[in-house]
């Protein structure tokens, strides 16, 4: 039984966390989280649409014709630091001594392919000139040093806390692309991109979720780039920020499922992962919301292709939303006959991938109507899916829950029992994965916002093992934003080309064509 001291209760109150919620989380640790039950991979014509050129043009035209009457928003999770992006470089600094061996010797010894690639393309990085300039200013003899010393110090100044400190910086503020006039951050590239598809009546609205400690840095960057982007695109920007709420932090427990206490005696709470951002999304007010990760951007010349597919997804959303709204209004205002009820069931099945269980047909008419209302009155998301090329990340699957309901979901590997041969075979047969390319609607036909927290499946959280102060602990991540965080949304998957997916997971990803500006 968990006992809370007065100090604990004060701590919870300051964070805005209810005692009931903490007790529920501890119960989750005790019971564990069941694996998701996959029944099939979503594939083309079995859960994933593949549009013809004619259909693409139709959806783009539909979106273009309606966008100026809509409130559009681009929502970008951007709170993550770039630590993982530079993981191989940190390892290099810890394990390499330029006085003892060459870079090649280290690369061969550690099989450090990222380091090899980093130095082969080092002059192509958008931060190259800045780092060299800084070193020459501080150490005029820098360029006379042996090559492996130069390379070691280059990485040191890039990551040193007293220098560029890129490993602690948010990804959104790192220079990603090197243009003739200036290096552009991921934040700036999102603004350019938003101008192409998130613009309504001359204004593009963006919302970034960021870390509180970097608030001023994002404000400074916005002040610096806003006019430049507006001048080039002719679009004005309405940019807002929010922080992950402390009330979404989750309790950490010992390996015996008791609250983990720090040496100070305080209970340890940890950020709840990107699933916590469903609260930030819930605070937004827009007719259509585009969701995309901060590191998935391209240089300017590729942006039109990216924007085209965003419009395709938005056009599909508008088409299906119009019909869903029509049926929802009809169910509220009239009592439909059997033929109309069957028509709505067919729409739910074919267009919104809602599995209508056979026993629903046996319900009394009034209960059938209630079932249809419930299914129609839910947020809708259109999710772009790319062909699986071996990238890590979640994928699109058909799953069955404990009540026998079948639905389309984005599922991450930790949610799957890979020791189960049947489940593993389904994973191996998957053809697509999730690039986080979502266009969604969060309002009903009356223009009222849904409470998105009502559509989260808490059973799709994650338990992980960490260490703190030299002791092991168990941590709880909330259901992922586009996984369990949107479990009860109506979901449509659409194939989009791999060219629209260009994340920067490691620093050397910046050397890929989509991140390189080629001079004419």
The answer, yes or no, to whether residue 3 has pLDDT greater than 80, is no
Q: Tally the C-alpha atoms within 13 A of residue 29's C-alpha that lie toward its C-beta.
A: 24
The helix/strand/coil state of 144 is helix
Can you tell me the distance from the alpha carbon of 336 to that of 261, in angstroms, rounded to the nearest whole number?
A: 59
In this predicted structure, the answer to whether residue 390 has a pLDDT above a threshold of 90 is: no
The answer to whether the CB of 490 falls within 8 A of the CB of 378 is yes
In this predicted structure, what is the pLDDT of residue 520?
41
Q: For 316-372, what is each residue's pLDDT tens digit?
A: 999 999 999 999 999 999 999 989 999 999 999 999 999 887 777 777 888 888 999
**pLDDT tens readout for residues 168-181:** 999 999 999 999 99
DSSP assignment of 291-348 equals EE-TT----GGGHHHHHHHHHHHHHHHHHHHHHHHHHHHHHHHS---HHHHHHHHHHH
With cut-offs at 50, 70 and 90, classify the pLDDT of residue 392: low
CB 415, CB 499: distance < 8 Å: no
| 510, β-bridge pairs | none
Count the Cβ atoms, other than its own, within 10 Å of residue 296: 21
Phi, psi for residue 411 in degrees, rounded to 5: -120, 135
Confidence check: pLDDT of 519 > 60: no
Q: Give kind and range of the element (H or E) at residue 191.
A: helix 186-197
Strand partners, 440: 289, 381
Distance CA 79, CA 213 (A): 10
Count the alpha carbons within 13 Å of 342 in the hemisphere toward its beta carbon: 4
Cα separations in angstroms, 378 against 57, 65, 325, 439, 490: 27, 25, 11, 14, 6
Q: Which two tokens stand for residue 5?
A: 């001291």
Average pLDDT value for the chain? 93
Check residue 444 and report its DSSP letter: -
Give the Å distances, CA to CA, from 396 to 46, 58, 136, 432, 433: 11, 25, 50, 7, 6
Q: Give the rounded percent of residues in the chain with a pLDDT score beyond 70.
A: 98
> Tokens 């969060």 identify what position?
442
Q: What is the mean pLDDT of residues 100-129?
A: 95
The per-residue pLDDT for 389 is 78
Residue 9 vs residue 188, higher pLDDT: 188
Tens of pLDDT along 395-427? 999 999 888 889 999 999 889 998 999 999 999
DSSP annotation of 69 reads G
pLDDT at 39 over 60: yes
pLDDT tier at 99 (50, 70, 90 boundaries)? very high
Per 3-state DSSP, what percentage of the chain is helix, strand, and coil (rounded to 5)?
50, 20, 30
Average pLDDT over residues 266-284: 95
How would residue 384 be classed by pLDDT, with cut points 50, 70 and 90? very high
Q: What's the CA gap between 101 and 148, in Å, rounded?
A: 8
pLDDT in tens, 121-154: 999 999 999 999 998 888 888 778 899 999 999 9
CB 159, CB 166: distance < 8 Å: yes
Q: Is the pLDDT confidence value at 79 over 80?
A: yes
48-72 burial code (b ≥16 CB/10 A, e <16):
beebeeeebebbbebbeebbeebeb
Q: What b/e readout covers 472-499, taking b as 16+ CB neighbours within 10 angstroms?
A: ebbbbbbbbbbbbbbbbbbbbbbbbeee
Distance CA 513, CA 504 (A): 12
pLDDT tens profile 447-504:
999 999 999 998 899 898 999 999 999 999 999 999 999 999 999 999 999 999 999 9
Pair 85, 506: CB distance under 8 Å = yes
pLDDT one-digit tens code per residue, 190-239: 999 999 999 999 999 999 999 999 999 999 999 999 999 999 999 999 99
- The DSSP result for 228-273, as a single string, is HHHHHH--EEEEEEEE--GGG-EE-B-TTSSB-B-TTSPBPEE---
* Percent share of the chain, pLDDT over 90: 86
What does the pLDDT average to over 439-447? Answer: 97
364 or 72, which is more confident: 72
């Amino acid at each position: 039984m968990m006992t809370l001291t007065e100090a604990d209760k004060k701590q919870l109150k300051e964070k805005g966390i209810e005692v009931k919620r903490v007790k529920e989380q501890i119960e989750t640790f005790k019971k564990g989280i069941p694996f998701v039950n996959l029944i099939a991979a979503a594939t083309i014509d079995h859960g994933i649409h593949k549009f013809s050129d004619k259909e693409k043009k139709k959806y783009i035209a539909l979106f273009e014709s309606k966008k100026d009457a809509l409130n559009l928003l681009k929502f970008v999770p951007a709170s993550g630091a770039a630590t993982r992006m530079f993981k191989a470089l940190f390892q290099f600094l810890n394990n390499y001594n330029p006085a003892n061996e060459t870079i090649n010797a280290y690369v061969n010894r550690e099989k450090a392919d990222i380091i090899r690639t980093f130095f082969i393309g080092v002059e192509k990085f958008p931060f190259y000139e800045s780092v060299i300039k800084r070193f020459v200013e501080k150490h005029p003899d820098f360029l006379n040093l042996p090559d492996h010393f130069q390379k070691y110090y280059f990485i040191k100044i890039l990551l040193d806390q007293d220098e560029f400190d890129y490993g602690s910086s948010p990804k959104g503020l790192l220079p990603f692309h090197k243009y003739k006039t200036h290096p552009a951050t991921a934040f700036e590239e999102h603004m350019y991109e938003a101008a192409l598809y998130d613009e309504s009546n001359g204004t593009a609205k963006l919302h970034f979720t960021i870390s509180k400690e970097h608030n001023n840095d994002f404000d400074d960057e916005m002040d610096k780039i806003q006019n430049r982007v507006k001048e080039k695109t002719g679009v004005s920007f309405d940019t807002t920020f929010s922080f992950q709420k402390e009330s979404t932090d989750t309790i950490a427990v010992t390996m015996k499922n008791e609250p983990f206490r720090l040496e100070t005696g305080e209970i340890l709470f940890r950020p709840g992962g990107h699933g916590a951002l469903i609260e930030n999304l819930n605070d937004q007010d827009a007719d259509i919301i585009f969701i995309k990760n901060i590191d998935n951007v391209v240089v300017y010349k590729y942006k039109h292709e990216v924007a085209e597919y965003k419009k395709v997804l938005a056009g599909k959303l508008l088409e299906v939303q119009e019909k869903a709204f029509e049926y929802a209004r009809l169910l509220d205002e009239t009592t439909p006959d059997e033929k109309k009820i069957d028509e709505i069931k067919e729409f739910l099945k074919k267009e919104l991938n809602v599995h209508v269980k056979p026993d629903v047909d046996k319900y009394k008419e009034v209960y059938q109507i209630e079932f249809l209302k419930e299914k129609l009155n839910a947020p809708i998301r259109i999710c772009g899916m790319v062909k699986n090329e071996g990238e890590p990340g979640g994928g699109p699957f058909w799953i069955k829950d404990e009540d026998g309901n079948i639905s389309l979901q984005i599922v991450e590997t930790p949610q799957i029992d890979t020791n189960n041969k049947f489940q593993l075979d389904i994973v191996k047969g998957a053809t697509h994965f999730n690039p986080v390319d979502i266009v969604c609607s969060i309002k009903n036909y009356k223009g009222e916002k849904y409470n998105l927290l009502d559509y989260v499946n808490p059973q799709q959280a994650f338990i992980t093992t960490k260490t703190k102060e030299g002791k092991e602990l168990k941590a709880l991540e909330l259901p992922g934003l586009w996984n369990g965080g949107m479990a009860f949304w109506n979901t449509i998957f659409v194939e989009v080309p791999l060219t629209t997916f260009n994340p920067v997971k490691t620093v050397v990803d910046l050397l890929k064509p989509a991140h390189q500006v080629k001079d004419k």
